Amino acid sequence: MFKRFRQLLLTRKPYRLQTLIILLVSAVTAVALILTGILVANDYATTTQRNLENRAQAIALAVGQAPTVQSSLRQGNYGGEVQSYTLAVKAETDVEYIVVMDMNSIRLSHTNEEIIGEKFVGGDEGPALQGETYTSVAVGTLGESMRAFVPIWDGEEQIGVVAVGIATEKINEAIIGSQKMVFFGLGIGLVVGLLGALLLAQKVKNSMHGLEPVEIAQLLEEREAMLASVREGIVAIDEQGRIVVVNHAARDMFNKAGMKEEPVGKSIQYFLPESKLQDVLVHQKPVLDQAQKLNQLEILVNHVPVTAGGKLVGALATFRDKTELTSMLDQLSGAKDYAQSLRMHTHEFMNKLHVISAMVHTQSYSDLSTYIKQIANYYQQDVGWVSSHIRDPILAGYLLNKLNLLEENNVLVTLEGRFAWPNIKSAELIDALTTIIGNTLDNAYEAIAEQEEKKIKITLTYAKGLLEWTVRDNGPGFDQEALEYSMKKGTSTKGTDRGFGMHLIQQAAEESGGTVHIVPRKGVGVAVQVYIPYHKDDSGLNH
């Protein structure tokens, strides 16, 4: 049974935040008001008790100083004038009784005239006979009462005592009457506290868009996960231009640009000096596709304002390394070229079928044999070689398209390689190889564009777990100093707005764990060698 109860507790849904706020505020208010009410009520009871004691003593003192009372005590007259006087005072002051007694505790007056002349009952009058003024609670002939004793003096001589009694029930009624306002105020305070708790809980709920803390924590975790998974750098600023949000991609680009400091809390102008976020804060309009520099890193930036409840609260910038975008454009361009190459081959194939059909129809079998051998030689030289050495259809088609373009521009291409590349399963590696193949061949063609005899030699092989891709041209080449200059991103020996091809080759090779070797030969040409590790186990699985 205990296990079942524990399971119920564990599976029980947590209280909603609004309920917890109402319960907590109500409990705190109730405890505070109840404790305050108890303390105030106790103080009121003590004050009421003291006021009644002082009032009884004042009445007793006044009675003791009355000439009628002192005359009756000196003459020993019981009842009579002193009785009439005390009854009149009792009626005006609404006390329970007023008793005048002599030094022998014999009553001279009492509410009950039948016991006048008898000894005072209660036994608490002793100190008063000794000249003391005090109050006490005792049970007499009229029940329990609070008594105020005041000695009566005739000059320096004590001649008697006055006792004024107030019933305990009346004292309690007076105390309860004085506390009614306290309890009334306590009730109002509890009601106000409950209403305040309801209003506070509703306001907190509205400010949190009706979400529970668990839901907010889940949204925060999801937001962090989304920011971490986005490849674009994301930076958000507040109204003062201070950075408040930075994702992992943005931090990586800042580190890549040499900015190692913590960006959160810093001014956006320090990390993105060319940023338009300040303008977005002023004009509240997005600024899109802005090419900027982050130190030497070229980026493409989008800026948008951020509003909440119709009010501007900041701005957001998303940016990407321009080199990566260039690489993707090159890959898309390669895919487009591949599709165009397929259309060209289809058209060429149809033309060849028409030629073969015509030769068969005219029974030109000798010419047909020569023509088919010519087609077969072309297939063996280009299509057959590429298909046998590159088993991935995307890479094979891409390379064939490049070879067709080179041959159309009168470039003599030589293909060599002992071992074919294994079947590549990694999409990332295929993208990297596409970038490497395309840019190395483009660079080689640009190098030989002015040569009378244009030659390119391609070496493609696989040995010792390495994919090798080497492109040699017979261009003018360059020396070691020009090589170091051309290796920098955005710089080229061919002019301005160039220099991204070699950078893309290096980047693709490094991301795949490979290396790039460039062998420049002044007046002879350039050889670009790329080696990328790729292992194939005995089961035929590639990794």
% of the chain beyond a pLDDT of 90: 6
pLDDT value at residue 482: 57
Sheet holding 411-416, edge to edge: 411-416, 454-463, 466-473, 525-533, 515-521
Distances (CA, A) of 356 to 373, 379, 381, 530: 12, 16, 21, 42
Nearest Cα to 497, choosing from 326, 302, 257? 326
CB 526 within 8 A of CB 520: yes
pLDDT digits (tens, 9 = 90+) for 142-194: 777 788 898 988 888 888 889 888 877 777 776 777 667 777 777 787 788 77
Q: 372 or 434, which is more confident?
A: 434
pLDDT digits (tens, 9 = 90+) for 249-292: 888 888 877 777 888 888 887 777 777 777 878 877 888 877 77
Only one residue has tokens 């564009």, namely 449
pLDDT value at residue 212: 67
Q: What is the mean pLDDT of residues 91-103?
A: 85
Distances (CA, A) of 121 to 23, 128, 355: 57, 14, 149
Distances (CA, A) of 108 to 73, 140, 145, 150, 160: 8, 16, 20, 15, 10
Could you tell me if residue 306 is left (phi over 0), alpha (psi between -120 and 50 degrees) or otherwise beta?
Answer: beta
Distance CA 40, CA 183 (A): 10
Indicate the pLDDT class of residue 458, thresholds 50, 70 and 90: very high
Sort strands 233-237 and 466-473 into parallel, antiparallel or unpaired. unpaired
pLDDT value at residue 539: 37
pLDDT value at residue 13: 57
Q: What is the mean pLDDT of residues 292-321?
A: 80
pLDDT digits (tens, 9 = 90+) for 39-68: 777 777 777 778 888 888 898 888 888 888
How many Å separate Cα 265 from the centre of its chain? 16
